[in-house]
């Protein structure tokens, strides 16, 4: 039996007080629904259907990069979760098992879902339930004295005794399309919210003696839905703590796991130490024994081993070799390569450049579109003037070049090996190897 996925995402999310649909709020740098889509992709289902409604065009635009892998079904009137699934039914293979998920329950894990789909047999109704401390607002799982699941009762329809039950409905189900096709048209909306409740299929299954298979999530946070911005922030922190734990268990120290943000995929080597308020985004690889200072923002970067990234540095789209130091307050921009043993100091900005082994640029420089060969010294305040108002030009600097403080190198320009540029020189044409270039005013009067 193949697998189809239905993701419900038509809800308004009014409590977000946002002009954007709820499922496009971001958690760990990604839209809520993107988390769900990325997770279900690993299940390799035959098809994924998203039921959209409120501001659906925005949701479609945000997920456009998934192309034809997502089928879209509009729910024009929000008449309840059962009604929502019914809208999707025509779009799925009637011979498949269906896994029903929510676009606003972002952290459901692959392992939980994979296990859940595996244990739910073809002729059963699978329900993912959880024991929670505070079940307020959620559907309660009603069991008989033999502990069989009989039905789900929504909080608003529950008696005071039923409200005491702490086993709740996560809202995630696994059931054949065939059963859904039988049950969904039979749903009634005679309940406290006048909605077609998907939860009512449980009592229907029971009546028809269809087996009910209950499973639980691996981590309780996985089933948390997001309804308000406060809940979003709480879930973000819970998720960040769990990411931090995985990293720490791998041998990395984090000064305070409540003060790190990981918004992407990170691989970090043993004995690297990460100080407070570091943000890691996108695809990040950091080697062993590094020190990442407080307040650093690092995005889509590779950093070797034994590096020091000093406080408040911003690194984006760069490749940094081992034994390199960057910062404090440095900005390393996309397409930059810093080889092993490079030293980049405070208030240095580097863009689309390569600094070879042993290059030092200690203070207050702008280096753009430059190739700087081994062991050069770039003095304080040196600027590569790479832009003529229309185009960018390249600066090429050979090995062992000394560029004195506050020099301007007007590109395109080549400075050959071993040359020395005296402080304060504006260099407008190429410089030969081992030469001295200076533009100097001195007064003998002193």
Please list the active-site residues: 363
What is the contact mask toward ligand UD1 in residues 139 to 178, using x (rule: CB under 6 A)? x------------x-x-------------xxxx-------
- From 436, 405, 402, 435, select the one nearest 423 (Cα to Cα): 405
Q: Which long-range contacts (CB under 8 A, 24 or more apart) does 229-238 make?
A: 229/16, 229/17, 229/25, 232/16, 232/25, 232/27, 235/27, 235/106, 235/107, 236/27, 236/28
What is the contact mask toward Ca ion in residues 205 to 234, using x (rule: CB under 5 A)? --------------------x---------
Reduced to 3 states, what is the DSSP secondary structure of residue 21?
coil
Q: Is the dihedral of CA 166, 171, 175, 181 positive or negative?
A: positive
Task: State which of residues 4, 25, 75, 324 lies at the interface with ligand UD1 (CB under 6 A).
Answer: 75
Residue 9 sits in the site that holds ligand UD1 (CB under 6 A): yes
Specify which residues 213 forms β-bridges with: 126
Residue 163: which H helix or E strand, with range? helix 160-163
Nearer to Ca ion, 221 or 347 (CB): 221
Residue 106 sits in the site that holds ligand UD1 (CB under 6 A): no
Residue 21 sits in the site that holds ligand UD1 (CB under 6 A): no
Task: State which of residues 4, 27, 73, 80 lies at the interface with ligand UD1 (CB under 6 A).
Answer: 80
The number of beta carbons lying within 10 Å of the beta carbon of residue 428 is 11
Residues 25-54 that bind ligand UD1 (CB under 6 A): 51
CA–CA separation, 93 and 128 (whole Å): 23
Is residue 27 left, alpha or beta, with left meaning phi > 0 and alpha meaning psi from -120 to 50?
A: beta
Residue span binding ligand UD1 (CB under 6 A) among the ranges 97-105, 237-245, 262-270, 365-373: 97-105
DSSP code of 209?
A: T
Task: State which of residues 83, 179, 351, 354 lies at the interface with ligand UD1 (CB under 6 A).
Answer: 83
CA–CA separation, 55 and 49 (whole Å): 17
Q: Which long-range contacts (CB under 8 A, 24 or more apart) does 329-335 make?
A: 332/301, 334/300
Provide the minimum distance between the beta carbon of 227 and Ca ion in the complex, in angstroms, as a whole number. Answer: 6
Nearer to ligand UD1, 104 or 349 (CB): 104
Provide the minimum distance between the beta carbon of 138 and Ca ion in the complex, in angstroms, as a whole number. Answer: 8
Residue span binding ligand UD1 (CB under 6 A) among the ranges 59-67, 98-106, 241-249, 302-310: 98-106
Residue span binding ligand UD1 (CB under 6 A) among the ranges 74-82, 263-271, 294-302, 390-398: 74-82
CA–CA separation, 385 and 321 (whole Å): 26
Q: At what angle do helices 32-41 and 110-119 cross, to 10 degrees?
A: 50
Provide the minimum distance between the beta carbon of 101 and ligand UD1 in the complex, in angstroms, as a whole number. Answer: 9
Q: How far apart are the first and last CA of the chain?
A: 94
Specify which residues 228 forms β-bridges with: none
CA angle 104, 106, 110 (to 5 degrees): 135
Task: Kindly determine how many residues on this chain lie close enough to bind ligand UD1 according to the rule CB under 6 A.
Answer: 27
Provide the minimum distance between the beta carbon of 335 and ligand UD1 in the complex, in angstroms, as a whole number. Answer: 40
Provide the minimum distance between the beta carbon of 187 and ligand UD1 in the complex, in angstroms, as a whole number. Answer: 10
Residue 81 sits in the site that holds ligand UD1 (CB under 6 A): yes
Residue 321 sits in the site that holds Ca ion (CB under 5 A): no
Q: Parallel, antiparallel, or unpaired for β 30-31 and 26-27?
A: antiparallel
Nearer to Ca ion, 225 or 287 (CB): 225
378 binds, among ligand UD1, Ca ion, none (CB under 5 to 8 A by kind): none
DSSP code of 334?
A: S
Taking CA atoms, 30 is separated from 24, 40, 446, in Å, by: 8, 15, 65
173 binds, among ligand UD1, Ca ion, none (CB under 5 to 8 A by kind): none
Backbone angles phi, psi at 433, to 5 degrees: -70, 150
Residues 195-254 that bind ligand UD1 (CB under 6 A): 197-199, 225
Reduced to 3 states, what is the DSSP secondary structure of residue 191?
coil
Residue span binding ligand UD1 (CB under 6 A) among the ranges 100-108, 312-320, 331-339, 378-386: 100-108
84 binds, among Ca ion, ligand UD1, none (CB under 5 to 8 A by kind): ligand UD1
CA–CA separation, 320 and 440 (whole Å): 36
Provide the minimum distance between the beta carbon of 361 and ligand UD1 in the complex, in angstroms, as a whole number. Answer: 51
368 binds, among ligand UD1, Ca ion, none (CB under 5 to 8 A by kind): none
Residues 323-352 that bind ligand UD1 (CB under 6 A): none
Nearer to ligand UD1, 199 or 407 (CB): 199
Residues at the interface with Ca ion (CB under 5 A): 225
Interface residue list for ligand UD1 (CB under 6 A) = 8-11, 51, 75, 78-81, 83-84, 102-104, 138-139, 152, 154, 168-171, 197-199, 225
């Amino acid at each position: 039996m193949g697998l189809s996925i239905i993701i419900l995402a038509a809800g308004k999310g009014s409590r977000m007080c946002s002009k954007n649909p709820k499922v496009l709020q971001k958690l760990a740098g990604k839209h809520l629904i993107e988390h769900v889509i990325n997770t279900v992709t690993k299940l390799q289902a035959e098809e994924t259907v998203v039921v959209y409604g409120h501001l659906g065009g925005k949701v479609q635009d945000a997920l456009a990069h998934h192309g034809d892998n997502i089928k879209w079904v509009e729910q024009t009137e929000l008449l309840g979760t059962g009604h929502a699934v019914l809208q999707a039914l025509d779009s799925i293979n009637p011979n498949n098992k269906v896994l029903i998920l929510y676009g606003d329950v972002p952290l459901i894990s692959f392992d939980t879902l994979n296990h859940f789909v595996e244990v739910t047999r073809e002729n059963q109704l699978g329900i993912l339930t959880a024991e929670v401390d505070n079940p307020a607002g959620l559907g309660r799982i009603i069991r008989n004295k033999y502990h069989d699941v009989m039905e789900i009762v929504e909080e608003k329809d529950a008696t005071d005794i039923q409200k005491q039950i702490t086993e709740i409905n996560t809202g995630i189900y696994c059931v054949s399309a065939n059963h859904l096709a039988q049950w969904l048209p039979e749903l009634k909306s005679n309940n406290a919210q006048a909605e077609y409740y998907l939860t009512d299929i449980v009592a229907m299954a029971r009546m028809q003696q269809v087996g009910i298979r209950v499973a639980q999530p691996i981590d309780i946070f996985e089933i948390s839905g997001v309804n308000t911005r406060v809940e979003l922030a709480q879930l973000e922190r819970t998720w960040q703590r769990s990411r931090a734990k995985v990293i720490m268990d791998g041998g990395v120290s984090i000064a305070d796991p409540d003060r790190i943000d990981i918004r992407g995929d990170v691989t970090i080597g043993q004995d690297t130490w990460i100080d407070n308020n570091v943000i890691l985004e996108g695809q990040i690889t950091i080697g062993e024994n590094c020190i990442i200072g407080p307040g650093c923002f690092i995005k889509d970067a590779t950093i070797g081993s034994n590096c020091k990234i000093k406080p408040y540095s911003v690194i984006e789209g760069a490749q940094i070799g081992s034994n390199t130091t960057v910062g404090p307050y440095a900005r390393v921009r996309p397409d930059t390569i810093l080889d092993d043993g490079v030293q980049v100091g405070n208030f240095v900005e580097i863009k689309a450049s390569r600094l070879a082994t042993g290059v030092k640029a200690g203070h207050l420089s702008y280096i753009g579109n430059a190739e700087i060969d081994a062991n050069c010294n770039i003095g304080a305040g040196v600027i590569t003037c790479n832009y003529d108002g229309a185009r960018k030009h390249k600066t090429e600097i050979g090995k062992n070049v000394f560029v004195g403080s506050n020099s301007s190198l007007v590109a395109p320009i080549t400075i050959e090996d071993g040359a020395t540029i005296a402080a304060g020189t504006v260099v407008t044409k190429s410089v030969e190897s081992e030469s001295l270039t200076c533009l100097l005013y001195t007064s003998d009067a002193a």
